Amino acid sequence: MPVIKYPRIRDPLFYEWDRKAQKCGLRHTVYAVNGDQYTGEWLDNLKHGKGTQIWKNTGAIYGGDWKFGKRDGYGSYSILDPVTKEYKRVYTGLWENDRRGGQGVFFYPNGERYEGEWSNGLRSGWGKMDYKDGSVYEGQWLVDQPHGQGVLRLPNGNRYEGSWKDGKKHGPGKYLYLDKGQQLEGIWVADIPKCGVLVDFGRDNAPAPPQYPLPEIELHDPAGVLAEARAMFDDCHN
């Protein structure tokens, strides 16, 4: 009995094209419709792994880790200087869900620099900020502002050590006037000292001490006075 062979049924060509279009693994540069370009690894048609993205409109470039189409892991983000046509680094560090998250360094256009922890793209946690005027703050941050315990060092050597709230000195703290050889310990509210004790502190070695030393005042319990003030402050702000 003769054997009849039928032609093999093939899938339509668009099925094959679709399979080839699904990006997975390492790819050469892929261009988006808007002109953006990406070179790197893919998973299930999403940027995933190591890769570099260049945005056409801004010229910005990111190189580092990706996770399901978003920057996630360690990476560096730079922008193109329109004058020099050179790339300037903006941020290097950890990313979470396409935002700065974890430990990283941010370089501001005016020369300022922050190194520390981030959350949802904002400075949060412990970090150090170098300001343009030479001041340095190192301590706790919350929602992009000094908040908690921290130290602010000024260019002239003076410094504040203590509590912060919403970017301002707030709560118990010490302000050391090293140029005058004095120290103020007390309670601050919204950057203003409300009460405290001012004493001479290293007056003999200070570069610009006052003409006369502070008179000695005998208090029955100076430590107790400050402790009571701290307790009253806590009661009012808890």
CA distance 191 to 160: 11
pLDDT of residue 15: 45
How far is 56 from 52, CA to CA, in rounded Å?
13
Q: Say if 11-99 and 108-213 have the same CATH topology.
A: yes
Alpha-carbon span 166 to 147, nearest angstrom: 6
CA distance readout (Å), 1 to 4, 55:
9, 67
What's the confidence (pLDDT) of residue 85? Answer: 85
Q: For every one of its 238 residues, what pLDDT tens digit does the chain have, with 9 covering 90 and above? A: 565 655 555 655 544 544 555 666 677 788 888 999 999 999 988 999 999 999 999 999 999 999 999 999 999 999 998 888 899 999 999 999 999 999 999 999 999 999 999 999 999 999 999 999 999 999 999 999 999 999 999 999 999 999 999 999 999 999 999 888 888 999 999 999 999 898 877 777 766 676 666 666 555 555 565 566 556 556 555 5
User: 108-213: what fold?
Assistant: 2.20.110
d(CA 136, CA 191): 17
The residues spanned by each domain of the chain are 11-99, 108-213
CA distances from 187 to 62, 215, 229 (A): 45, 22, 7
Note the pLDDT of residue 205: 73
125 three-state secondary structure: strand
Q: Which residues of 127-161 are buried (b: 16+ CB within 10 A; e: fewer)?
A: bbbbbeeebebbbbbbeeebbeebbbbbeeebbbb
Q: What is the pLDDT of residue 201?
A: 75
**Fold (topology level) of 11-99:** 2.20.110
